[in-house]
Amino acid sequence: MKKTLSLFLAFFKIGAFTFGGGYAMIALLENEFVEKKKWITKNEFLDMVAIAESTPGPVAVNSATYIGYKTAGFKGAAVSTLAVCIPSFAVIFCISLFFEQFLKLTYVSYAFRGIQVCVIYLILSAGLKMLKNIKKTAFNIVILLSVIAAMVSCTVFSVSISSVCYILICGVLGMAAFFLKKLKKGCD
């Protein structure tokens, strides 16, 4: 019961103070659950990010569900998912009531511009932290450089590919790498 309450409060806080969606939340999740509470390891966190990004649904909800289930089972998953969604729902509901008047406020416009800068910083810092935690093997470096090259190429040549295609291609490549490693171990 105590762990479920702790999960609820942690995810409610993260949901209430994260702007910019799930990617901006990743740094806060790592700080809260890997560094402070030590409920999951860095490797488990990296796995969680990969799973949360590649499964359907928002990254924030998928992350909350994963961490909640990992630490407190089904009840933890339900409580964490609910807690991370409540603040966003409440804010969006209130904004929808006064949307037209809300957008006309000069200070609101300035606040959103400031929040955009924070979101970029949070996403960048989360990415750099994850980059530092990746094992520096030849395979991982080749994968990282391939992804960077693919991203730059798609941007330069204005290629637009569906996110679903990216996920499927990466899933197939990941499975191929897994089976190649398994085959290599079997031959040794």
Encode pLDDT of 105-161 as tens digits.
888 778 878 888 888 888 888 888 888 888 888 888 888 888 888 888 888 888 777
Whether the pLDDT of residue 83 is over 90: the answer is yes
Per-residue pLDDT band at 80 (split at 50, 70, 90): very high
Q: Which of 22, 94, 73 has the alpha carbon at shortest distance from 51? A: 22
Question: What does the pLDDT read at residue 156?
Answer: 85
Whether the pLDDT of residue 23 is over 80: the answer is no
Q: What is the spatial distance between Cα 72 and Cα 78, in angstroms, rounded to a whole number?
A: 10
Average of per-residue pLDDT across 75-82: 94
Q: Which ranges in the chain belong to alpha helices (H)?
A: 2-17, 22-29, 42-54, 59-97, 99-104, 106-133, 138-156, 163-187
Q: Residues 115, 20: contact at Cβ < 8 Å?
A: yes
Per-residue pLDDT band at 188 (split at 50, 70, 90): low
Judged by DSSP in three states, 126 sits in helix
Half-sphere exposure for 112 (CA within 13 Å, toward CB): 7
Q: What does each C-alpha distance from 127 to 18, 20, 180 come to in angstroms? A: 16, 15, 28
